[in-house]
Amino acid sequence: GGELRSDCDEQLLITIAFPSAVKLHSIVLEGPGSAPDEIRLFLNRTAMGFDDAEAEEPLQALPLDEARRSGAPLLLQYVKFQNVSTLTLFAPSNQEESEVTTLHRLRFFGSVHDTTNMKEFKRV
Amino acid sequence: MVLEASFLCIDNSDYMRNGDHAPSRMEAQLDAVNLLSGAKTQSNPENVVGLLSTAGRGVEVQVALTGDVGQVLSLSHGIKIGGNANLSAGIQVAQLSLKHRQNKNQRQRIIVFVGSPVQEEEAALVKLGKKLKKNSVAMDIINFGEEAENAAKLEALLNAVNSDDNSHLVTVPPGPHVLSDILLSSPIVQGEDGAGAAMAGMGGGGGEGAGDFAGLAVDPNMDPEFAWALRVSMEEERARQEAAAKAAEEAGAGSAEGAAASSGEGAAAAPASDAEMAEAAGGAAAGDADEQALLEQALAMSMPGAAAEQPKTPATAPPAETPGAPVGGASETPASAAPPPSAVPAPALEDAVMAEADEDEAMQLALAMSMSQGGGGESTTPAPAPAPAPAAGDMSAVFQDPSFLQSVLGSLPGVDPNDPRIQSVLQKQDGDKKEDEDKK
């Protein structure tokens, strides 16, 4: 029901820390007309600022259009997203060129790394 | 306890030679730098501070981000005064320095001193403020010296930067107070968690000693809630004193009424009633004082509650400020001005009393009570100035006059001057008077 709006200008920087390392397969993004027109992804970067995000080469850039912001999965380069603990999404501008960028929903699809299940752990 | 990197931007323009903040604006600023860098580094062992100057030959970084307060202190005293301050350039340089801090977990904060007129347009400042907010830089602004002129621009800048109440603007008008003392109780040093940072400020400030609570025998660590309550009441008292000083200025020092009103609000405890007494007499002697105001004052003095309340006020007031405060000065001046018309007050007062007799009997009674109290007080204290004592003696003598008292009492409705109880009281007073004279 809620929505995410950019604060000072149209740029948006979202940092997501996963509880454990994951493999990411795709992203689903939903938003209105003022949704981002592009999403740049950075991997395992803590403390990233807007200046860094603008200047640096992203791991993958996803251009967005009318169709791709209404629930269609955006496929990631799966081999590059094998060990994701922190994901940074940077939206440089929006599709309406308005002051505020809006997001309604952001979903990630992927799998958790194989780790030791302590319930199955047996002493030898 | 916030982990943060703070950059202090000090103003070293020619305006800093002004002496309206003791000893000079520059020295007051350096004292505040000492306090702030101490408080910031003490609140978290990993905190760092930096220092730059915004005037002179251009913005100059004096100390890069460091955890060593000594370095900040020693280098801050080498700053030369000169030129005009460039606020926006200073903030931008500070932001750049903060961006390249070594520990990216530190929050960023810019603390800027503004003591000269801000050259920048408001729109430019707002744009800069938004940029800081976007990069999650907090900003504290200390507006002193040219505070009235800069208030609107700095307010706009603060509103642009502020998010989640992380930025503050502290305005310090010139006065007898010390700049760093004001900062000590401000949210800049207190931070979000109040008492914790206050004690850090004390440790770091060193020279400031017990800061707020000097002379109050209060340890803020032992009872944070009490310390908090004290601090709040101190701030209220300071605001009230500022308002009173402003009101006194507006009324004009020449007016006797203005002086009487401001001294009535003064926090000085014991001398207050004496001073008021002298003023009341002086006002009546001048003849131009409003009689109604005189009676109200007399009524206030004779209220038993007033005496009990007086000692409370100074306990919550900062003791360091009271003697130097403008109101304190105002209450002293009329007291010393009172002696010359020593002979005049008594008859003049009598006239005033007689004139009022048929107007407001209740007021009359209050005046009579306060006069007798004043007379008693004067005779027991070893009369600081020779002149007021005889004046008070004359006043009490007026009330020893049985015929006068008879006429006063007779004018009161429902009081029979021949009532045995009243007679006994009068006789008792007569006896007291004789005893007093025996003592003398």
- Name the residue among B286, B229, B226 with its Cα closest to residue B254: B286
CA distance A86 to A89: 10
Query: Per the domain annotation, does A65 fall within a domain?
Result: yes
Confirm if B18 and B28 have CB atoms less than 8 A apart.
no
Residue range B47-61: mean pLDDT, rounded: 94
Residue with tokens 């938003």: A31
CA distance B5 to chain A (A): 14
Query: Per the domain annotation, does A120 fall within a domain?
Result: no
| Range in A102-106, B80-84, B115-119, B385-389 with the lowest mean pLDDT | B385-389
Q: How far apart are the first and last CA of chain A?
A: 52
> pTM for this one?
0.56
**Pairwise CB contact (< 8 Å): B134 & A47:** no
- CA torsion B113-B115-B116-B118 (nearest 10°) is 40
Which of A8, A10, A46, A100 to probe by mutation at the B interface, max B CB count within 10 Å?
A: A8
Residue range A6-14: mean pLDDT, rounded: 89
Query: Per the domain annotation, does A122 fall within a domain?
Result: no
Q: How many domains does chain A have?
A: 1
Shortest CB distance from A8 goes to which of B99, B105, B134?
A: B134
Residue range B105-121: mean pLDDT, rounded: 94
Question: B104 to chain A: which residues are within 8 Å by CB?
Answer: 46-47
Structure-model confidence comparison of residues B262 and B180, the more confident one? B180
Q: Of the ranges A8-12, A120-124, B125-129, which is most confident?
A: B125-129
Q: How far apart are the first and last CA of chain B?
A: 65
CATH at A81: 2.60.120.470
Domain interval for residue A102 = 4-113
Helix (H, G, I), strand (E, B) or coil at B155: helix
Provide the pLDDT for residue B193. 55
Shortest CB distance from A9 goes to which of B104, B105, B134?
A: B134
Take residue B85 and report the two structure tokens written for it: 């301050």
- Chosen CATH of B4-191 out of 3.40.50.410, 3.40.920.10, 3.40.1000.10, 3.40.50.720: 3.40.50.410
Provide the pLDDT for residue B213. 57
Give B330-399 as a DSSP string: HHHHHHHHSSTT-SSHHHHHHHHHHHHTTT-HHHHHHHHHHHHHHHHHHHHTT-SSTTHHHHHHHHHHHH
Query: What pLDDT, in 10s, does the model give residues A66-96?
Result: 878 888 889 999 999 999 999 999 999 888 8
CA distance B41 to B4: 9
CA distance A76 to A65: 16
pLDDT band of residue B380 (cuts 50, 70, 90) is very low
Give B56-125 as a DSSP string: TTS-EEEEEEES-HHHHHHHHTTPPP-S---HHHHHHHHHHHHHT-S-TTSEEEEEEEE-S---S-HHHH
Question: A50 to chain B: which residues are within 8 Å by CB?
Answer: 134-135
Query: What pLDDT, in 10s, does the model give residues B148-196?
Result: 999 999 999 999 999 889 999 999 998 888 898 899 888 888 875 554 4
Does A97 reach chain B within 8 Å, measured CB to CB? no
Structure-model confidence comparison of residues B431 and B324, the more confident one? B431
CA distance B134 to chain A (A): 6
Take residue B323 and report the two structure tokens written for it: 């003697």
pLDDT(B104) > 60: yes
pLDDT(B400) > 90: no
Boundaries of every domain in chain B: 4-191
Query: What pLDDT, in 10s, does the model give residues A56-72?
Result: 999 999 998 887 888 88
- Name the residue among B132, B66, B54, B52 with its Cα closest to residue B99: B132
Give B256-297 as a DSSP string: HHHHHHHHHH----HHHHHHHHHHHHHHHHHS-S-HHHHHHH
Q: Of the ranges A7-11, B85-89, B216-220, which is most confident?
A: B85-89
pLDDT band of residue A46 (cuts 50, 70, 90) is confident
Provide the pLDDT for residue B158. 95
Take residue B46 and report the two structure tokens written for it: 């990993």
Query: What pLDDT, in 10s, does the model give residues B211-258?
Result: 455 556 566 666 778 888 888 888 898 889 889 988 888 887 555 444
pLDDT(A40) > 60: yes
| Phi/psi at B332 (5° precision) | -80, -40
Q: What is the mean pLDDT of chain B?
A: 73
